[in-house]
Each structure stands twice: as structure tokens, then as C-alpha cells.
Chain A
């Protein structure tokens, strides 16, 4: 895959899991990476230090994306750091909450939508002045956007919103050469999903899959890095399912 030397990237939710693995993967290819975190400052700094230790450029930016004007503030800080151009945006920050339909509160519903759907929308909007021909936006969808899994109705709806956002934004921004795609993981072994670490969780995950193993963050990060690269320059408006062939 071609180098990302000279490119700038913002990865949200990058203190752990898929965001962390993606930040490291993009930095390894030469990109300067802005590592966003919501509250895990020490973990985010550890990612920054790991990148710098390998000779790369990185900086940590902390802001809680559940706040309505947080994307606006984050975008302003990004513009200050990278100047005229952001090449890669990975809107990965997300929250999850398992609850039955009966037990879902309006507060939980709203918070899920605020972080998982509203924040990415306004982050892209606010960064449009510095996105341009060749820029690549990658959003995070999920298997559950198209196949129901118990207890994730509200979370799944936020990811369905992302699938729609991909198409709408790709169509609108295509003429400007800005690509918008998503990756849709299934269950991934990260801190956000302790589900995969339980025996029942593992059995459930493997039971719906062709490939029969629990995904690691690197499995997802490699696909994100491809979508960010020149090799994907004609791919836009697509959600790539990276879920071991789940619920085909």
C-alpha cells in the first residue's frame, strides 16, 4: 500500500480499541495523527508516545463529543494544528449500551445518538473547509445496523444512521473529490465490548460467523487504512463489513 507520508489524519475515540489500532496503523504509513479522546487522557498520551517513539508525529486532543458544540470546538482545534488541509478523518468515537426495548431510557437513547450519529455529522460538517479533493472520511458502522442482536436496539439504530450518512455524504461531497465510506465490524475484542470476553459472548459471536474467530482491533484498522489510502481512490459511498462473514 502506498505511503501516507505528508498526510494529516484525525482519529476520534483513539485512546483504545479500534481507534488506537487505526492511529498506529496510519502513523506507521507516515501520516501525522491527531489522537482524540473523550476522557482517557493518559491512554491517549500513550498512543501519542508510541507514535513518536517510532519517529512519527502525533498529538492528543481531548473533548467530550456528547456535548452539542464539541464537534465545532474539536474542528477548530484541528484546523489550528493542521492548517489548510485534513486528508483523513476517522470518526470512530462511539458509545454502546445494552438494554432491552423495555429498559431503554430516553436519556440513554439520546446519548447514544449524540455521540454515535450527531457528533460525526457535525464533525464532518465543521471540517469541510479543510477537506478537499483526495480527502477520505471513514465512519464506523456495525453489523447490528443490518442484523438484529438482542439488547442493542438503540445502539443499532445509531449505526443504521451512519450507513445512511455514508451514502448521503458521499453523494453530496463526491463532486469535490471527498470520499466517504464506513467499516462495519461485528463483535471486536476491545474494552468497549467486554461481551466478547465472556464465554456466552464468544459462542454467540462465533455462531453467527463464517470465519469463526473474535476480531481484534488490527483486523478492523487494516481495512480503515485501506479506505484512507490512494488504493481506494474510486471507492465512496460504501460500507465494508469486516465481521468474519456474519449473518450473510
Chain B
């Protein structure tokens, strides 16, 4: 497809931002979304300057009315939606299970699971009319592994993988593929927050077979692949992009 219409949530930093830039370089047309207006407008300006027609729409994926408006405005502008990347996510805060609160659960699940679910719902409504489309969700190595003090993030990413598989089965009826990319420890602000940087971050790298962290660009490459025609026979799949972390 020469110039696909791509919608990305959580597009203002990390993997979302790298994905937006990668698509812009390939001449896609973009709808980018996030909560911070100044940053969103700035990124849209940057991508438009690269020659990729880009619209920024502020939205918080936890609120359905905002998600609905996001997709409605995207369709009003571009007329169709080819690729939706449900990237908005939060790592929450480290907490031991004996101290966990329903509020902490809500915070993580509302963004990571409900946000993804609402993105799937409204993308499918648009794509159903086209009988075509590709949805990419973002999981994590924590979508299949566990870690102490990270139960909520872990559970939310396991949930994203389950949503992906069920959505794939349901959406196949109208020509839409649904997959997920599960990144390992990637050089982003989220990883800085999670590790506190420095030695702890370096220890993550040392623990991987490839002995280095990933870059947001490398994850963006995988997102682009799974969303593309090259992956036309892949649906319901989780692509692990993690320097070998889940191999060992």
C-alpha cells in the first residue's frame, strides 16, 4: 500500500514516537495521539515537515468518549483507516502484592487493557466497513513472563495477549488481522523509570543473549512488519522483539 493511513496512540514518546517517525519516512499518512498537546503538535509539525500528512488529536485512551472522538476525527480527515497501533501504556509503580490497592490496579489496567480494548473496538468498527485493516497491540516480555513487584503490569500485558488472540479470531471474518509486538527492555523513558537508569539498566542488558538493550526503532521495525502485507498470513500472533530474552 503506497500511503497507508496509520493511527498510533501513545505516540509522543518511546516506541510510539519511533513508530510514527518510521511510518512518516515511508510516506504514510498519520493520526498521532497522546495526552500532551504541546508535544503532540510539535511531533505533528515534525512529521509534516518530513512530508507525511499528520494530524495530532489529543486523547486519553482510558476514556471511551475520547477514543471514539479520536477515531471519528481520523476518519473525517482521511476517509479510511489501514493500520491502528494501540501503543499507549503505563508501567505503573513497583508494589509488593501485600500492599497492592484497587486504585493501583485501575491505573494500570485502565491504560494498558481498557485502552487497548477501546482501541480495538473503534478500529474494528472502522475497518469492518472497509473489510480490510491491520491492528497491532503492544505487549511486553512481561506478557508471558513474571517479575516480583510488577504483578499489575505483568497481568495487564498477559491480558493484552489474550485480547489479541480473541480479536484475531473475531476480526478475521471481515478481513482484519490483529497481532501484538512484545518488546524486551528497550531504550525508552519507561525503561529509565522502571530501572532507575545506570547500573540496574545495564544489568538488564547483560541478562539478554544479545547483551544489549533494544532501540525504539528496532521495535518500530517489527510493528511495521507485522502490520504490513508481508505478514498477510499472520494473525493472533505475538512477535517477540527482545534480543533473546524469552529464549532463556
Q: Which residues of A contact B (CB under 8 A)?
A: 1, 166-168, 170-175, 177, 179, 209-212, 215, 219-220, 222-223, 225-226, 231-238, 240-245, 248
Q: Can you pick out 18 interface pairs between chain A and chain B where the beta carbons lie within 8 Å of each other?
A: A170-B247, A174-B210, A210-B235, A219-B233, A220-B233, A226-B225, A232-B221, A235-B222, A235-B239, A236-B209, A236-B243, A237-B248, A238-B239, A240-B234, A241-B237, A244-B233, A244-B235, A245-B177
Chain B residue total in the interface (Cβ 8 A):
38
| Distance in angstroms between the alpha carbons of A240 and B239 in the assembled complex | 7
Given contacts A236-B209, A237-B246, contact A248 B169 (CB under 8 A): yes
CB distance from B163 to the nearest CB of A (A): 12
Q: For A240, list chain B residues within 8 Å (CB).
A: 234, 237, 239
Q: B73 an interface residue at 8 Å Cβ cutoff?
A: no
Alpha-carbon separation in the docked complex, A241 to B177 (Å): 14
Q: Provide the B19-55 mask, 1 if CB < 8 A to any CB of A, else 0.
A: 0000000000000000000000000000000000000
Question: What's the Cα separation between A235 and B221 when bound, in Å?
Answer: 10
Contact between chains at B247 and A245 (CB < 8 Å): no
A226–B184 Cα distance when bound, in Å, is 19
Assess the B242–A234 pair: CB atoms within 8 A.
yes
Q: How many A-B residue pairs have CB under 8 A?
A: 120
Measured between beta carbons, the chain A residues less than 8 angstroms from B247 are 166-168, 170-171, 174, 236-238
Nearest CB to that of A222 among chain B residues? Answer: B230
CB-based contact A248/B165 at 8 Å: yes
**Cβ contact of A236, chosen from B232, B236, B244, cutoff 8 A:** B244
* A104 vs chain B, min Cβ distance (A): 30
The smallest beta-carbon distance between A142 and chain B, in angstroms, is 14
Q: List the A residue with the shortest CB-CB distance to B175.
A: A211
Q: Is B214 an interface residue (CB 8 A)?
A: yes
Q: A211-B235, A212-B172, A245-B168 are in contact. Are A237 and B240 (CB under 8 A)?
A: yes
When the two chains form their complex, are residues A237 and B244 in contact, meaning their CB atoms are under 8 A apart? yes
A210 and B248: CB pair below 8 A? Answer: no
Residue B64 interfacial (CB < 8 Å)? no
| Residues of A contacting B225 in the complex (Cβ-Cβ under 8 angstroms) | 226, 231-232
Interfacial chain A residues near B243, Cβ < 8 Å: 174, 234, 236
Q: How far is the CA of A223 from the CA of B222 in the complex (A)?
A: 11
Interface assignment of B218: CB less than 8 Å from any CB of chain A? yes
Give the residue of B229, B233, B244 whose beta carbon is less than 8 angstroms from that of A174.
B244
Contact B240 A210 (CB under 8 A): no
Question: A222-B231, A234-B222 are known contacts; what are 15 more A-B pairs with Cβ within 8 Å?
Answer: A167-B247, A171-B247, A173-B209, A210-B169, A210-B172, A226-B231, A232-B221, A234-B242, A236-B247, A237-B209, A238-B241, A245-B169, A245-B235, A248-B168, A248-B169
The 7 residue pairs across chains A and B that have the minimum distance between CB atoms: A174-B209, A237-B247, A210-B172, A245-B235, A171-B248, A219-B233, A234-B218
Nearest A residue to B235, CB-CB: A245
Question: In whole angstroms, how far apart are the Cα atoms of A243 and B248 in the complex?
Answer: 25
Name the one of B232, B233, B237, B244 contacting A170, with C-beta atoms under 8 angstroms: B244
